[in-house]
């Protein structure tokens, strides 16, 4: 093996060395030709890239001029209306006459401004239209050839510059637009209105620098081994069954049980990972010597749960309650170390390595954006976007690498941010889709006969009384709020972790009517929720119903319960959206189509029936144990939706759900 390695290592040197003078001459000539060809190709690629950048700038400037033209026209219209009004009120008053004269002068100036804006926009549009598509578009074959040349070239500086140009050209080609839906298109303008309403959430708080503070790092292979070890230990533990019981007479007895069960779990982790070290730990009981190992195990579990809320549904609660108890000063003193350490996030890693500038790079959107392959998009277009995304990642990794931060670390950060975008695609976008369905099939000002959203308290289980318009507003407010919560779910998970495991934030056991629960305040999550709610109210202009956020009371005992409730939103909406999207495809089958026609009158009436029932009875204030806990509060809106889910088998359209592959709303607990 050593001899083979030596031969392979020496092979490039042997190939590079000349065998005779003629070979050297041929090699020099070939090198000159290669360099000339490479230089020409680089110059052509740079020229085409600059041309693409010019086209993008022209398009952006054209959009700006078009906006200015519309703004000037709107101002001119308002000024003319005001001029007419002043002329009617002028009479013989000298001051009014002077005001009318000044207003006439203003209208004249606005007319000139509007005319100039229109002329500028028209001229730029005409100039841009002269350019052919071939002049402004890089061919895919040239991209591949130039990439091969860059890999062979030894000029790293010029290669980085060329990559930058090509990425700008790729950005000009257009990445998948944000918020794209999977499924059939809605009527024209509807999806656009839904996306426009959702776009208001993308403010300063949504920058990569801010988001990265709450995005955990993706687990590496060593951490995944620790995760499997942790899950195995927690799956056989009965920690909460032994500790969270009401019959403790002394605090010291409960603490003793906590320590006993905690040490059993810790010893089990070490024995499973390293038998000799575990045997020594059981004998010596020096847990502090392995504090780093224990902190790694629990931090990996916490990080994995944030990135994958559908995972660890049976074991995460045990781990969090164990760590809550381990944060007690008395237990920390007995163990000799802390089980909790801060979560590893993208921002923390880049800040530690001095590379926060990566998060402000203009190519981050290209390098981390989610590419949707559904619908009628051609495969070659998807492949092209994948290549652009890969080149963007390679470019960023080369640009920001340093002694402290390797290319692998940068790619690790980019993959972690991409994981967050993937989460948003499958958890936030279905809410956008449902908002689009609401706007497509219903209007707040009028309704079709038999399709009113109005509900009456006491009728069909409803505990709220709303007119059609009020119920429409109530539903779109609730969906918008859920959309914003799902959009910031990683941040809420991060803050919930801080609230649950804070050393100064203690809990108390209380029978909340839903069993014995740990009631604990959640100040960080509470402030974040108030900010989200205020943002929704500003966007929607008012609020229907109560704006109370239950946290740390008998309705929502702690931050874990709060987060767990809102991770259910995509589990509720995803199946409904999938059924609505799949319905036209199902009806391609003649027998299914005959059933839908006979039962509902067609695809569109069937969709309307499902949406009408969902928008009425999933938002009617029902589902609570008593009348006082029901209603329109922030928590109650989700309770009503769960109550609707529990009655799905009794609905007239349940067979349509089954035909579309529906199996349930709750998902898999063993994932």
- And the tokens for 403? 């002694």
Q: 36 and 28 in contact (C-beta within 8 Å)?
A: no
Rounded-to-integer distance, Cα 303 and Cα 227, Å: 10
Compute the average pLDDT of residues 82-90. 69
* The pLDDT value given to residue 2: 38
Q: 30 and 146 in contact (C-beta within 8 Å)?
A: no
* Highest mean pLDDT, choosing among 143-152, 325-334, 374-383, 484-493: 484-493
Per residue in 576-601, pLDDT (tens digit) is 999 999 999 999 999 999 999 999 99
Residue 442's pLDDT band (cuts 50, 70, 90): very high
- And the tokens for 603? 């695809």
Looking at 267-271, 462-466, 658-662, which range is the least confident one? 267-271
Per residue in 166-214, pLDDT (tens digit) is 554 555 454 444 433 334 444 444 444 444 444 444 445 678 999 999 9
Q: 461 and 622 in contact (C-beta within 8 Å)?
A: yes
Q: How far lies 101's CA from each of 106, 108, 383, in Å?
A: 9, 11, 63
- Whether residue 624 is predicted with pLDDT greater than 80 in this model: the reply is no
Helix, strand, coil % over all residues of the chain, rounded to 5? 70, 0, 30
Per residue in 351-365, pLDDT (tens digit) is 999 999 999 999 999
As a whole number, the mean pLDDT across the chain is 78
Compute the average pLDDT of residues 220-230. 90
Per residue in 463-489, pLDDT (tens digit) is 888 899 999 999 999 999 999 999 999
Who wins on pLDDT, 110 or 394?
394
Q: 604 and 598 in contact (C-beta within 8 Å)?
A: no
Who wins on pLDDT, 618 or 35?
618
- And the tokens for 118? 């229109």
Residue 530's pLDDT band (cuts 50, 70, 90): very high
Rounded-to-integer distance, Cα 402 and Cα 389, Å: 22
Per residue in 642-658, pLDDT (tens digit) is 889 999 999 999 999 99
Compute the average pLDDT of residues 395-401. 93
* The pLDDT value given to residue 151: 40
pTM given for the model: 0.70
Q: 336 and 288 in contact (C-beta within 8 Å)?
A: yes
Per residue in 297-321, pLDDT (tens digit) is 899 999 999 999 888 888 899 899 9
* The pLDDT value given to residue 501: 92
Side-chain-facing half-sphere of 161: CA atoms under 13 Å: 11
* The pLDDT value given to residue 248: 66
Who wins on pLDDT, 21 or 238?
238
Alpha helices in 316-406 (DSSP H): 316-326, 329-335, 346-352, 364-368, 379-400
Q: How far lies 606's CA from each of 380, 409, 441, 449, 652, in Å?
A: 36, 51, 12, 15, 10
* The pLDDT value given to residue 417: 94
Q: What are the residue boundaries of the structural domains of the chain, listed by start?
A: 25-153, 221-335, 428-659
DSSP code, position 652: T
Compute the average pLDDT of residues 443-456. 89
């Amino acid at each position: 093996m050593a001899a083979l390695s030596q031969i392979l290592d020496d092979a490039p040197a042997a190939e590079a060395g000349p065998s005779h003078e003629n070979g050297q001459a041929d090699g020099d000539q070939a090198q000159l030709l290669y360099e000339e060809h490479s230089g020409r190709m680089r110059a052509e690629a740079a020229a085409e890239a600059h041309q693409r950048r010019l086209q993008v700038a022209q398009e952006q400037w054209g959009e700006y001029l078009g906006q200015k033209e519309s703004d000037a026209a709107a101002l001119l219209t308002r000024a003319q209306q005001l001029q007419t009004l002043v002329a009617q009120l002028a009479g013989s008053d000298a001051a009014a006459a002077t005001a009318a004269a000044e207003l006439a002068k203003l209208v004249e100036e606005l007319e000139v401004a509007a005319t100039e804006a229109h002329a500028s926009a028209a001229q730029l549009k005409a100039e841009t239209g002269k350019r052919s598509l071939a002049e402004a578009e890089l061919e895919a074959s040239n991209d591949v050839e130039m990439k091969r040349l860059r890999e062979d070239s030894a000029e790293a500086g010029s290669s980085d510059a060329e990559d930058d140009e090509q990425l700008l050209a790729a950005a000009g080609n257009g990445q998948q637009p944000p918020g794209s839906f999977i499924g059939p298109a809605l009527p024209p303008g509807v999806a656009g209105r839904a996306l426009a309403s959702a776009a208001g959430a993308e403010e300063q708080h949504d920058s990569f620098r801010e988001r990265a503070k709450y995005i955990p790092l993706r687990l590496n292979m060593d951490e995944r081994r620790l995760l499997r070890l942790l899950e195995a230990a927690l799956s056989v533990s009965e920690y909460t069954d032994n500790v969270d019981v009401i019959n403790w007479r002394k605090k010291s007895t409960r603490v003793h049980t906590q320590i006993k069960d905690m040490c059993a779990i810790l010893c089990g982790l070490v024995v499973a990972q390293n038998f000799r070290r575990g045997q020594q730990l059981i004998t010596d009981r020096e847990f502090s010597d392995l504090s780093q190992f224990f902190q790694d195990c629990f931090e990996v579990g916490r990080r994995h749960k944030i990135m994958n809320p559908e995972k660890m549904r049976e074991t995460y609660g045990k781990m969090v309650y164990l760590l809550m108890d381990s944060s007690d000063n008395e237990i920390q003193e007995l163990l000799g170390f802390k089980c909790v350490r801060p979560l590893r996030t993208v921002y923390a890693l880049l800040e530690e390595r001095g590379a926060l500038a990566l998060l402000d790079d203009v190519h981050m959107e290209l390098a981390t954006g989610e590419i949707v392959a559904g619908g009628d998009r051609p495969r070659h277009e998807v492949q092209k976007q994948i290549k652009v995304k890969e080149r963007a990642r390679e470019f960023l990794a080369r640009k920001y690498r340093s002694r402290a931060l390797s290319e692998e670390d940068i790619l690790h950060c980019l993959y972690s941010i991409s994981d967050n975008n993937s989460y948003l695609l499958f958890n936030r976008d279905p809410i956008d889709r449902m908002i689009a369905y609401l706007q497509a099939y219903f209007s707040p000002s009028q309704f079709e006969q038999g399709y009113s959203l109005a509900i009456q308290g006491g009728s069909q289980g409803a505990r709220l009384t709303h007119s059609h318009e009020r119920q429409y507003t109530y539903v779109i407010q609730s969906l918008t709020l859920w959309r914003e919560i799902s959009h910031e779910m990683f941040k809420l998970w991060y803050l919930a972790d801080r609230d649950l495991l804070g050393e100064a934030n203690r809990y108390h056991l209380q029978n909340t009517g839903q069993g014995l629960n740990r009631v604990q305040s959640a100040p960080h999550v509470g402030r974040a929720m108030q900010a989200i709610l205020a943002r929704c109210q500003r966007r929607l202009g008012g609020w229907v119903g109560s704006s109370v956020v239950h946290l740390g009371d008998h309705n929502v005992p702690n931050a874990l319960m709060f987060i767990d409730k809102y991770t259910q939103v995509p589990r509720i909406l995803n199946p409904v959206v999938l059924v609505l999207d799949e319905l036209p495809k199902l009806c391609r089958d003649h027998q299914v189509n005959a059933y839908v026609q006979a039962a509902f009158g067609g695809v569109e009436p069937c969709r309307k029936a499902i949406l009408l029932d969902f928008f009425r009875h999933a938002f009617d204030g029902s589902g609570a144990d008593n009348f006082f806990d029901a209603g329109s509060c922030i928590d109650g809106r989700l309770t009503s939706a769960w109550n609707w889910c529990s009655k799905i088998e009794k609905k007239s359209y349940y067979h349509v759900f089954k035909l579309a592959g529906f199996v349930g709303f709750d998902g898999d607990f063993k994932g």
